[in-house]
Structure 1
Amino acid sequence: MTPAPAPLWFRADVGHARLGFTDARTDLGRGPAADGSAVAGVQSLGAALGGRPALMRQVHGAQVAVADPDAPTPQADALIVDRPGIVAIVRVADCTPVVVVAPDRPLAAVVHAGRVGMAAGIVTATVDQLRRRGAEQLEAWVGPRACGRCYEVPAQMADDVAALEPAARATTRRGTPGLDIGAGVIAQLQRAGVTVHDVGGCTIEDDTFWSHRRQGDAAGRFGAGVVLGEGGDHAAP
């Protein structure tokens, strides 16, 4: 894949929505700037998608919130966007970023699916919330993440997660227990009747992306955003 101009590494338009994934050319940060404003990377992603950025305080749970840049930042691992001009953003550095879109309705969401959140059902909770708001057909884009060949974990942890989501069980290149959180996310989406587009990419193998496992505390954050246009008409460049 040939990278798009920063801050977008991948982008797509579907129905009312425009979505994009970033890479390590842009740092979305872990929190606000020193003055309390959004960091420059968040601002640039909002500008690229043509809306005001809305963030969440990600806690590896299964809480779903509604994106609202004028409200306090919610503690959640999924943000639903249901009105035009708001860019819902997810930030990651090995966890799985997901964008879910209802092509025939002005509804979309971003999801932060780490090991704990995936096992807790954050993906299914997000799909359920979108369907309660009237979404019928749903499509999802699953972004770069730590792959099962690289994500080594203790055997008991692998067993515990696989007991909740068997598709997440993996074996690393070293032949040790591993987890493939992306595979678990995809399995959950497919079971929920969602059409899945796997953007792919392993954050640990590929320095195109930020990776906490590879870079430790020096890792920034990449991620994804989605915005709705008026009647499917996008004003963003």
Structure 2
Amino acid sequence: MTAAPAPLWFRADVGHARFGFTDARTDLGRGPAADGSVVAGVEALAAALGGRPALMRQVHGAEVAVAEAGAPTPQADALIVDRPGVVAVVRVADCTPVVVVDPDRPLAAVVHAGRVGMAAGVVAATVDELRRRGAERLEAWVGPRACGQCYEVPEQMADAVAAVEPAARATTRRGTPGLDIGAAVIAQLQRADVVVHDLGGCTIEDDTFWSHRRQGDAAGRFGAGVVLGEGGDHAAS
């Protein structure tokens, strides 16, 4: 890990990849603007990592797309980076943000794993697509999200999600049914033989991060970005 310049609170350089996570000091916006412009927070994230941003239209699914700066925004919940200078961006406000990197090859991805997308298999779909493209040894960084002690849901919903991924089942501090999507994502990554680095943090408890559950419509979006460099060197800072 290296010192993280604003707007990042965490940044690392691994193999061909440079990546970082933002916090509530920056708002990455809720999605691509209708006029195709990029919000200031996304521009700041891309500048901090040294590349041009590529977004996705996140829909809580399991589609995986390839990041292309300046191209039409794909509808997806995971973006793969396979070329230098393109910063793939994921935006969240209680869902689980993930960065996946191949330390040996120029391949990486960001993942938006909410309750629905996690259960639909977005994590496995991302890992499978990276391996289809030649990745072998993968590592993942799992960012702040709503924790299981805070994320209360109806019992029927908790049962349905836990039937798909048992690691998601949780009980809140109030003793009510809950879900731990971060724990579920970590379990899925580990089953796929991905080395996991859990950055931890609960968005509902910690106002360092945006949280839709805590702030409602006033919540912005934090998230993560990853960029590849040329020939083992990172994109220009």
Distance in 2 separating the partners of 1:194 and 1:4? 25
Contact 1:111 1:122 in 2 (8 A): yes
Structure 1 segment 1-237 matched on structure 2, within 5 A: 4-33=4-33, 35-237=35-237
SS at match of 2:8: coil
Contact 1:153 1:178 in 2 (8 A): yes
> Match for 2:6: what amino acid?
A
Distance in 1 separating the partners of 2:192 and 2:23? 28
Distance in 1 separating the partners of 2:147 and 2:236? 32
Contact 2:20 2:225 in 1 (8 A): yes
Contact 2:32 2:73 in 1 (8 A): no
> Match for 1:79: what amino acid?
L
1:43-95 CA distance string (max 9 Å, x none): 00000000000000000000000001232100000000000000000000000
> Match for 1:50: what amino acid?
G
- Structure 2: 5+ residue stretches without partners: none
Q: CA deviation at 1:35?
A: 4.8
Identity of aligned residues (%): 89
SS at match of 2:185: helix
Q: CA deviation at 1:231?
A: 1.9
Shift in CA distance, 32/56, structure 1 to aligned 2, threshold 3 Å: closer
> Match for 2:108: what amino acid?
A
Distance in 2 separating the partners of 1:217 and 1:7? 22
Distance in 1 separating the partners of 2:34 and 2:112? 24
Distance in 1 separating the partners of 2:235 and 2:159? 47
- Structure 1: 5+ residue stretches without partners: none
Q: CA deviation at 1:232?
A: 1.9
Distance in 1 separating the partners of 2:195 and 2:98? 12
Contact 1:48 1:236 in 2 (8 A): no
RMSD of aligned residue pairs (Cα, Å): 1.5
> Match for 1:131: what amino acid?
R
> Match for 2:47: what amino acid?
A
Q: CA deviation at 1:34?
A: 7.0
Q: CA deviation at 1:36?
A: 3.1
SS at match of 2:79: strand
Distance in 2 separating the partners of 1:39 and 1:133? 31
Q: CA deviation at 1:234?
A: 1.6
Distance in 2 separating the partners of 1:102 and 1:229? 13
Contact 1:52 1:87 in 2 (8 A): yes
Contact 2:32 2:57 in 1 (8 A): no
